[in-house]
């Protein structure tokens, strides 16, 4: 978004509108795409999904106007939306109860590494080659479109009937969707997403306001996200051994403690708290995804679309509320609202009807 403002002179509103279009299209499309995949066997091959998303994002560098940019963002978002439910459904089928948290954490880690390193790669490409340099971001997408068909298991045999509305993949009766627990899980994950996106959006500004340069502030954010990747892997593995609900609550408690530590403590202690905040914040991410798969074993695509689509989109929209609050009471005080949101999400995770470890089979 920053290169659109600095290179093309777009307003914050115009640049933000592109991000909003991308997030809304992707978030709303994912549950529907997941449902179609589960119930009708409809899917776009994962490699093609990545190709569409990567190519159309890279075309922003040579778009002829703002209208074309909006269209490119919308098409890229559809590619993004088509990838996650199908790919996560495949990943979920390859895991077991004893490995689900760890396996799903590996999947999510790939996306978060791209999330952390992508802006640096795009910034370097634009810095060396100008705005057209963003076209280089299509290269990884093209490489994955070629490699994935060679790496993934073969699709089901042709002629195999698609699952009907009342059956699972094997033709057995499809379990009823427990909408009450699923709603609580999605609501809690949405609140956690507000904390994730709120910290990404405003922590660099807060650090810069405290005397750090923008480069240092953005670097600290990148390091925090990379520490969060380690938290994801650790959280997924721990949840397989020690229980999913226990892992989530430990992660949310650590998130609250170290967010408060960052806001209260000066110097190195505050920066250490920032890194631990990132670790614990992301540690429960793949664990909630694993729970959604266990709630919806016959609808893995829908479960993935709700957790990676709808809840993340809702969290992104919540950033505007934090920003509006910051305009009124100051950014420092608004960041304390993230602590309140963390505690509210924790309450929802506590009441989530999911068994503790000692109650599990």
What number of CA atoms fall less than 13 Å from residue 204's CA on the CB side?
A: 16
d(CA 179, CA 300): 14
Distance, in Å, from the CA atom of 133 to the CA atom of 127, rounded to the nearest integer, reads: 8
Specify the residue for token string 């994935």.
Answer: 148
Domain assignments of the chain as residue spans, ordered by start: 2-154+168-355
Would you state the pLDDT for residue 6?
52
Answer yes or no: are the C-beta atoms of 164 and 41 closer than 8 Å. Answer: no
Pair of tokens at residue 238: 């721990």
298: tokens are 């016959």
Q: Who's near 157: CB < 8 A, 6+ residues apart?
A: none
What was the pLDDT predicted at 173?
A: 65
Length in residues, the chain: 361
What is the pLDDT, as a whole number, of residue 351?
96
Of the candidates 185, 193, 189, the one whose C-alpha atom is nearest the C-alpha of residue 321 is 193
pLDDT at 343: 97
Longest dimension (CA), the chain: 64
CB neighbour list of residue 110: distance below 8 Å, 6 or more residues apart: none
- Quick one: pLDDT at residue 2? 52
Cα 204 off chain centre by:
19
**pLDDT tens string 271-322:** 999 999 999 999 999 999 999 999 999 899 999 999 988 898 888 777 778 8
Return the SS3 of 167. Answer: strand
The two tokens of residue 321 are 């509320």
Per the listing, tokens 């480069």 go with 215
Question: Is CATH 1.20.1250.20 correct for 2-154+168-355?
Answer: yes
Q: Check residue 175 and give its pLDDT.
A: 76
Q: pTM score, two decimals?
A: 0.83
For tokens 């209208």, name the residue.
Answer: 67
Q: 59 exposed, middle or buried (CB, 10 Å; 0-12, 13-18, 19+)?
A: buried
Q: What is the pLDDT along the chain (361 residues), one digit of tens a residue?
A: 555 555 566 665 666 677 778 888 988 899 999 999 988 888 888 899 999 999 998 898 788 888 898 899 999 999 999 998 988 888 888 788 888 998 999 888 887 787 777 767 777 777 777 777 788 888 989 999 999 888 877 665 544 444 444 455 444 567 788 999 999 999 999 999 999 988 887 888 888 888 887 778 878 888 998 999 999 999 999 999 999 999 999 999 999 999 999 999 988 999 999 999 999 999 999 999 999 999 999 899 999 999 988 898 888 777 778 888 888 888 888 899 999 999 999 999 999 999 887 665 4
């Amino acid at each position: 978004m920053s290169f659109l403002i600095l290179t093309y002179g777009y307003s914050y509103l115009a640049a933000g509108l592109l991000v909003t279009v991308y997030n809304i299209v992707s978030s709303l499309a994912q549950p529907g795409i997941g449902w179609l995949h589960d119930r009708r066997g409809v899917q776009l091959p994962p490699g093609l999904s990545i190709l569409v998303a990567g190519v159309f994002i890279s075309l922003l560098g040579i778009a002829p106007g703002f209208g074309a940019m909006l269209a490119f963002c919308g098409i890229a978002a559809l590619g993004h939306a088509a990838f996650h439910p199908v790919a996560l459904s495949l990943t979920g089928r390859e895991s077991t109860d004893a490995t689900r948290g760890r396996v799903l954490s590996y999947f999510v880690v790939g996306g978060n590494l791209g999330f952390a390193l992508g802006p640096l790669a795009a910034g370097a490409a634009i810095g060396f080659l100008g705005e057209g340099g963003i076209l280089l971001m299509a290269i990884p997408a093209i490489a994955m479109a070629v490699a994935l068909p060679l790496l993934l298991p073969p699709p089901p045999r042709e002629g195999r009937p698609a699952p009907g509305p009342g059956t699972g993949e094997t033709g057995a009766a499809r379990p009823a969707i427990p909408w009450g627990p699923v709603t609580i899980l999605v609501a809690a994950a949405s609140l956690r997403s507000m904390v994730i996106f709120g910290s990404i959006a405003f922590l660099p500004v807060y650090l810069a306001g405290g005397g750090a340069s923008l480069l240092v502030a953005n670097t600290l954010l990148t390091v925090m996200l990379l520490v969060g990747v380690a938290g994801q892997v650790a959280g997924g593995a721990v949840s397989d051994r020690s229980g999913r609900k226990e892992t989530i609550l430990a992660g949310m408690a650590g998130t609250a403690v170290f967010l408060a530590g960052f806001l209260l403590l000066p110097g190195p202690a505050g920066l250490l708290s920032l890194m631990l905040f990132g670790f614990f914040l992301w540690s429960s991410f793949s664990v909630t995804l694993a729970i959604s798969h266990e709630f919806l074993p016959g609808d893995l695509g829908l479960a993935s679309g709700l957790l990676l689509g709808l809840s993340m989109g809702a969290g992104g929209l919540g950033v505007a509320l934090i920003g509006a609050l910051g305009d009124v009471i100051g950014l420092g005080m608004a960041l304390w609202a993230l602590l309140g949101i963390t505690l509210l999400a924790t309450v929802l995770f506590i009441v989530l009807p999911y068994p503790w470890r000692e109650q599990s089979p």
